[in-house]
Amino acid sequence: MIKLIALRELKSLFLSPLAWAMLVVMQLIMCYQFLSQLEAYLQLQAKLAVLEDSPGITDLVIAPLLGGSAIVLLLIVPLLTMRLISEEQKSQTLVLLFSAPISMTQIILGKYLGVLGFLLILVIMIALMPLSLLFGTAIDLGQLFSALLGLTLVLASFAAAGLYMSTLTRQPAIAAVSSFGLLLFLWIINWADAADVDTTLAAGGENVLRWFSILNHFEPLLKGVFSTADIAYYLLFIVLFLVLSVRRLERLRLPH
């Protein structure tokens, strides 16, 4: 049943030009970034070769590429998730799901996995660019997969937060703006940390803010550092917003 809802969601995405437009724009921008970074790397290559323990192509091209795509997707994922529930509420098709013999959890998971499917397609398309380097040179595959896992987890978290925002309002645009705001805030929350660097008093607070930052948990993965704490952060983030979404959907039926 979850699969059914997920597949329909994915199908509807591809029936609208939005999904195609996103794939195209995403691919063009990432391509441009990839090529310009590759160019820069080629210019630096001679100097790097002299250095001992110098960063390789994986550090200089692939990690920035995947980090950059996370930022672009921060803008795009809210547009993708905004319609999930709010549009169904607006066009009153949610009734179909509510009247069918399925649970709210199944509805939310179906919707979520549908978007996740689309995001995986995006990740695979982005991954093709670094993988194409295999034709010319050796890359650190371990670091690449760690970074790809990181990117996937970041996107999955974006999608979960976006889904929750979409259950809050009937207006897709409001859902998009508020999930973008939330995600951006969580992205930059550790900036406060940088500003307060001198005050030793704030040390405890810094750590908490740091811990909440999506970016903070993404960077180690980009560098190839695989830590359970980072993975747990993303999984908790996803579960939290999915549970909130289910609760919110159940509340829609209650007196208000």
Residues that bind another protein (CB under 8 A): 1, 4-5, 8, 12, 15-16, 91-103, 253-256
Closest to 143 in 3D by CA, of 133, 156, 158:
133
Other beta carbons less than 10 A from residue 241's beta carbon: 24
Taking the complex as a whole, the smallest distance from the CB of residue 24 to another protein amounts, in Å, to 20
Query: H or E element: which one contains 211?
Result: helix 203-212
Query: H or E element: which one contains 21?
Result: helix 17-50
Taking the complex as a whole, the smallest distance from the CB of residue 22 to another protein amounts, in Å, to 17
Query: Do 182 and 213 meet the contact criterion of CB atoms below 8 Å apart?
Result: no
Amino acid making up residue 57? I
- Taking the alpha carbons at both ends of the chain, their separation in whole angstroms is 29
d(CA 148, CA 126): 9
Closest to 152 in 3D by CA, of 194, 187, 122, 107:
122
Taking the complex as a whole, the smallest distance from the CB of residue 81 to another protein amounts, in Å, to 18
Indicate the residue among 104 and 116 with the shorter CB distance to another protein.
104
Taking the complex as a whole, the smallest distance from the CB of residue 87 to another protein amounts, in Å, to 10
d(CA 121, CA 24): 12
Indicate the residue among 67 and 110 with the shorter CB distance to another protein.
110
Indicate the residue among 9 and 206 with the shorter CB distance to another protein.
9
Indicate the residue among 89 and 152 with the shorter CB distance to another protein.
89
Indicate the residue among 9 and 230 with the shorter CB distance to another protein.
9
Indicate the residue among 83 and 217 with the shorter CB distance to another protein.
83
E-strand ranges in 185-241 read none
Taking the complex as a whole, the smallest distance from the CB of residue 169 to another protein amounts, in Å, to 19
Indicate the residue among 12 and 45 with the shorter CB distance to another protein.
12
d(CA 8, CA 102): 15
d(CA 249, CA 244): 9
Taking the complex as a whole, the smallest distance from the CB of residue 256 to another protein amounts, in Å, to 6
Taking the complex as a whole, the smallest distance from the CB of residue 104 to another protein amounts, in Å, to 10
Alpha carbon separation from 128 to 27, 123, 206 (Å, rounded)? 10, 9, 37
